[in-house]
């Protein structure tokens, strides 16, 4: 399968920890990458590879994976973390890329 599945919406209380998941067969072979997109803005890469953060991304963002499921964890969520989050990876063929449908994170 070349699809990645995400929950449409997740909420977290301010300062608490939240996990956003991404499922797909390609994740058994390739790492997921994670992007944050705020309204009216281009996406921003927050996690790539096994668990790597671009230098500008706060340490409260981390990634993990098990089997066909990848996860993005936000430890101590802040109000500014409210956004849409997308996972992606190569698909099973290796020459194509696929995005998940996105998860809207609400910080309460």
Residues in touch with other proteins (CB under 8 A):
30, 33, 35, 37, 42-45, 48-49, 54, 84, 86, 88-90, 95-102
List Cα–Cα distances, 46 to 2, 25, 29, 38, 51, in angstroms. 22, 22, 21, 13, 10
Q: Which is nearer to other proteins, 10 or 45 (CB)?
A: 45
User: Cβ(3)–Cβ(23) under 8 Å?
Assistant: no
Question: Shortest gap between Cβ of 31 and other proteins (angstroms)?
Answer: 9
Q: Which is nearer to other proteins, 51 or 76 (CB)?
A: 51
Q: Which is nearer to other proteins, 15 or 54 (CB)?
A: 54
Of 42, 87, 82, the closest CA to residue 63 belongs to: 87
């Amino acid at each position: 399968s070349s699809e990645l599945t995400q929950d449409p919406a997740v909420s977290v209380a301010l300062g608490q920890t939240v996990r956003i998941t991404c499922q797909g067969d390609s994740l058994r072979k390739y790492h997921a990458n994670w992007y944050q997109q705020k309204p009216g803005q281009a996406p921003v890469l927050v996690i790539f590879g096994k668990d790597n953060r671009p230098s500008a991304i706060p340490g409260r963002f981390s990634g993990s994976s098990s089997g066909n499921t990848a996860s993005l964890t936000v430890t101590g969520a802040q109000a500014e973390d409210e956004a849409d989050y997308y996972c992606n990876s190569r698909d099973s063929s290796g020459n194509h890329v696929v995005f998940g449908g996105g998860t809207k994170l609400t910080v309460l």
